[in-house]
Chain A
Amino acid sequence: MIKQIVSIAAINLKNIPQRWASSLVIVIGLAGVVAVFSALLAMSAGFASTLESTGSKDTALIMRGGSQAELNSALLRDDVTLVKLAPGIRKGADGKPLVSAELIVITELLRKGDTKNGANVTLRGVEPDAFVLRPRLHIVEGRNFKPGLRELIVGRGVIRQFGGAELGKTIRMRGSEWTVVGIFESGDSHESELWTDAEVAQSTFNRRSYSSVLAALDNPGSIAQLKAALKADPRLNTDVQTEQDYFSNQTKQFRKTIGVLAGVVTVIMALGAIFAALNTMYAAVSARSKEIATLRAIGFGGFAVLVSVMIEAVVLSLVGGAIGAAAAYLLFNGISLSTLGQNFTQVVFAFKVTPQLVVTGLVIAMVVGFIGGLLPAIRAARMRVTDALRAG
């Protein structure tokens, strides 16, 4: 039986070049489906990986209760002082708590190629410990800002997507000039931000408050201790979570939106591809009806014919799927784009065509090929040998 299947399938596959035009329909149809599927989900994967790599498990992010995002949160100076003294926070080398009170404000930069509409970009005012708390961040060009001066360091992602923030440029904000003195890389969402000294940001933007406090934890378990201590203090109303939780929560909405979009688009396109595959395979079977009947007449089984037709459909689909995944990889992987994040500012990220996505795409291709091949295969197997031999 297996021998029969192999030999018929081999014959079928070998003469595909003779009817490449109609086989191409399956290949291209599936390439389209898998390319669109992979590209969409690569966007979602890239966004998620950028945000999720931002947070660490052993730092806590403290905001005003019910704020949802740093942008909406405001902690007054007194609140910040109380928070910094709470238990569960690790001490730095100098014996003081390792914390950074930070202020988020939004500024506008022009997207490259746009001259009119500014895109929102986060300006983060930080305290010196911010750099200890984020060990992956390092300056790659220029130098760090000097506290007390209107100097900025700019993330690599900002440079990629927006104009006017290159090293040495000045940016005007609220009637004052700021100089870009350095460019940093961190491999996470901070790369979409401008950083400066917290107090300079406060005075320029006329704020007396901070947006959040980032604190190193004694150990990953201390989050509960810190939470309980801050909750017990009647003077404070705060939300405490690990930095990692904060950032992975932010990806949920985006993942959901893209997931729904990708789902709908893929299902509809896959249905179209199934109809196309059915068409092709019916045509292939009817063109070969004489040949199939001959095989049956000399003793090949109906099941062997059925399986061989299915194999042809699935192989063509897989080839198409592989081409689609490769196209998505070549066209999109690593390409940088940006969208609105939780703080209503741009998060710069890159498409990420992961191996897992490629595998899922190929599975989809296989399923489509299977369904598209099934009905024609049954027809081929059920064909009445005498009729088919006499026809045409």
Chain B
Amino acid sequence: MTKTGFIIANLFRKKTRTSLTLLSVIMAFLLFGLLQAVNVMFNAGADFIGATRVMTQARVSFTQALPMSMLPKIEGVPGVARVAPMQWFGGVWHDTDQLIVFAVDPQRQHDAYPEWVMPESQWKAFANTRTGMVVGRLIADQYHWKIGQKIPIASNIYPQKNGSKAWAFDLVGIYDGKDENWQKATNGIFIQKDYFDEANQFGINGRTNFFAIRLADSAQAQKVCKTIDAMFENSPDETKTQTEKDFNVGFVKQIGDIGLMVRWILFAVFFTLLLVVGNTMAQSVRERVPELAVLKTLGFSDGSVLGFVLVETFTLCAIGGLLGLGLATLIGIGVQKSAGGQLPLSVDWHVWTAGAIAIVLLSLAVGLLPALRASRLKIVDALAGR
């Protein structure tokens, strides 16, 4: 019998126990995979964003709009390549779904965000259609919208001149992301700022919530931020300028202590799992003490007995772990299909890496004690059943 065969045979000597342990490991890693994905969604969501843009908002809060008269001043700052205003619209679909709708200047948006990929003809149509709207691929897929349709979108903030909050826009383009990460972020909608300014009842034209600023040189980011903020200091419209990444992180952090909560759950799950698997392993070693003594009598070294037990644990954890993570991946895909851009949950390689590390740590933590015990066994005592 080979060593591998020996380990497999050992693993299946008590089929019920092995399969039950395996099932609890699978459950634990299924949970681990899903929660880790949520964790990644909260924490590392902004990692792919480069340092090519900075965002300017009102210092007091981004809900306080800034005057458009700032735009040429900002564009004059050395190191700034292009400035794109973005005004929050408060879009609502069918009274229930909040949409991320911004009123933008089509050409400036195109220039400032080369990451959004769309045929030139559609960019042109956006610029030339006053009631035009372009949407991200995720949103278009989720609501089955097609180019050419007129889409009714309500605003929960701005009524039109006639007092109605039910707006409608012509869908003239669907944009994609330049790579996989940006594709996951195609959950936004853009409408024409000129049209919005003219048609809204409050007449808040000439104002915007943000300026997205594309830099000529990303090394200048900090300097540009400081220059812009210094320019408007002590005015009623003081600004806060930060890199796009910090801006996004700040947004996610608003959700508050949920990330912390997820970490607590992960910890509780892991602790529970450790004890369950650890106990089972300890028990199976205990039962096999006489056999291990026989192995040693036959001439197997302490080291190889230790190895047998460790490899057995590792096999159990690895099979269970991989199955659990696989299951989590499938569920993640299912969630993404049904919830679309609302919940970009994906069990990707970040999660798998963390899962792999967890498998190794877990097998060491639960396998080491029984394995050491097995290797330190005194043959005489063990055979005598002491």
Contact across chains for A268 and B64 when beta carbons are under 8 A apart: no
Interface with A: B78-86, B134-142, B187-195, B267-275, which one? B267-275
Contact across chains for A119 and B272 when beta carbons are under 8 A apart: no
Contact across chains for B265 and A36 when beta carbons are under 8 A apart: yes
Q: Which A residues are CB-close (under 8 A) to B238? A: 172, 174-175
Given contacts A72-B156, A205-B64, A272-B273, contact A36 B268 (CB under 8 A): yes
Please encode chain B, from 223 to 257, with 1 for each CB lying within 8 Å of some chain A CB and 0 for all others.
00000000000111110101000100110011111
Contact across chains for A268 and B90 when beta carbons are under 8 A apart: no
Contact across chains for B276 and A265 when beta carbons are under 8 A apart: no
Q: Is A40's beta carbon under 8 Å from chain B? A: yes
Contact across chains for B23 and A66 when beta carbons are under 8 A apart: no
Within A171-220, the residues touching B (CB, 8 Å) are: 172-175, 204-206
The one of B62, B157, B237, B257 in contact with A337, judged by C-beta atoms closer than 8 angstroms, is B257
- How far is B238's CA from A22's CA once the two chains are assembled, in angstroms? 64
The one of B30, B62, B261 in contact with A268, judged by C-beta atoms closer than 8 angstroms, is B30
Please encode chain B, from 15 to 51, with 1 for each CB lying within 8 Å of some chain A CB and 0 for all others.
0110011011001101100110000000000000000
- How far is B64's CA from A65's CA once the two chains are assembled, in angstroms? 21
Q: Is A32's beta carbon under 8 Å from chain B? A: yes
Contact across chains for B235 and A175 when beta carbons are under 8 A apart: yes
Q: Which B residues are CB-close (under 8 A) to A65? A: 165
- How far is B282's CA from A24's CA once the two chains are assembled, in angstroms? 13
The one of B24, B273, B283 in contact with A22, judged by C-beta atoms closer than 8 angstroms, is B283
Contact across chains for B235 and A32 when beta carbons are under 8 A apart: no
For B260, give the chain A residue with the smallest CB separation.
A337
Contact across chains for A264 and B34 when beta carbons are under 8 A apart: yes
Q: Which A residues are CB-close (under 8 A) to B242? A: 116
Given contacts A25-B275, A174-B238, A206-B236, contact A118 B250 (CB under 8 A): yes
Contact across chains for B246 and A283 when beta carbons are under 8 A apart: no
Given contacts A117-B249, A120-B61, A338-B257, contact A32 B34 (CB under 8 A): no
Q: Is A326's beta carbon under 8 Å from chain B? A: no
- How far is B275's CA from A25's CA once the two chains are assembled, in angstroms? 6
For B25, give the chain A residue with the smallest CB separation.
A272
Q: Is A165's beta carbon under 8 Å from chain B? A: no
- How far is B64's CA from A306's CA once the two chains are assembled, in angstroms? 69
For A76, give the chain B residue with the smallest CB separation.
B202
Q: Which A residues are CB-close (under 8 A) to B64? A: 105-106, 174, 205
The one of B202, B235, B250, B276 in contact with A29, judged by C-beta atoms closer than 8 angstroms, is B276
Q: Is A282's beta carbon under 8 Å from chain B? A: yes
Contact across chains for A35 and B61 when beta carbons are under 8 A apart: no
Contact across chains for A36 and B269 when beta carbons are under 8 A apart: yes
Q: Is A71's beta carbon under 8 Å from chain B? A: yes
Contact across chains for A174 and B257 when beta carbons are under 8 A apart: no
Contact across chains for B255 and A339 when beta carbons are under 8 A apart: yes
The one of B60, B63, B202, B249 in contact with A174, judged by C-beta atoms closer than 8 angstroms, is B60
Q: Which A residues are CB-close (under 8 A) to B265? A: 36, 39-40, 265
Q: Which B residues are CB-close (under 8 A) to A25? A: 275-276, 279-280
Q: Which B residues are CB-close (under 8 A) to A133? A: none
Q: Is B154's beta carbon under 8 Å from chain A? A: yes
The one of A28, A43, A120, A278 in contact with B254, judged by C-beta atoms closer than 8 angstroms, is A120
Nearest CB of chain B from residue A115's CB, rounded to whole Å: 12
Nearest CB of chain A from residue B329's CB, rounded to whole Å: 15
Q: Is A354's beta carbon under 8 Å from chain B? A: no
Q: Which B residues are CB-close (under 8 A) to A24? A: 275, 279
For A69, give the chain B residue with the smallest CB separation.
B156
Given contacts A22-B283, A32-B269, A68-B156, contact A272 B276 (CB under 8 A): yes
Contact across chains for A117 and B246 when beta carbons are under 8 A apart: yes
Q: Which A residues are CB-close (under 8 A) to B34? A: 264, 268
Contact across chains for A28 and B272 when beta carbons are under 8 A apart: yes
Nearest CB of chain B from residue A325's CB, rounded to whole Å: 13
Q: Which B residues are CB-close (under 8 A) to A278? A: 20
Given contacts A107-B60, A269-B27, contact A339 B257 (CB under 8 A): yes
Q: Which B residues are CB-close (under 8 A) to A105? A: 60-61, 63-64
Contact across chains for B31 and A265 when beta carbons are under 8 A apart: yes
Q: Which A residues are CB-close (under 8 A) to B276? A: 25, 28-29, 272, 276, 279
Q: Which B residues are CB-close (under 8 A) to A205? A: 60, 64
Q: Is B258's beta carbon under 8 Å from chain A? A: yes
Contact across chains for A39 and B264 when beta carbons are under 8 A apart: yes
Q: Is A74's beta carbon under 8 Å from chain B? A: yes
List the 7 closest pairs (A to B, CB-CB), nearest first. Answer: A32-B272, A272-B27, A339-B256, A117-B250, A106-B61, A275-B24, A337-B257
Listed in ascending order, the chain B residues whose CB lies under 8 Å from chain A are 16-17, 20-21, 23-24, 27-28, 30-31, 34-35, 58-64, 90, 92, 154, 156-157, 159, 163, 165, 202, 234-238, 240, 242, 246, 249-250, 253-258, 260-261, 264-265, 268-269, 271-273, 275-276, 279-280, 282-283
Q: List 6 other contacts, CB 8 Å, given A25-B275, A275-B20.
A: A28-B276, A108-B61, A172-B238, A269-B31, A279-B20, A344-B254
Listed in ascending order, the chain A residues whose CB lies under 8 Å from chain B are 21-22, 24-25, 28-29, 31-33, 35-36, 39-40, 43, 64-69, 71-72, 74, 105-108, 111, 114, 116-120, 172-175, 204-206, 237, 264-265, 268-269, 271-273, 275-276, 278-279, 282-283, 337-340, 344, 346
Q: Report 15 cross-chain contacts, Cβ distance below 8 Å, ordered by A residue.
A: A24-B275, A25-B276, A29-B276, A36-B265, A69-B156, A105-B61, A107-B61, A111-B253, A205-B60, A205-B64, A269-B272, A279-B16, A337-B257, A338-B257, A340-B254
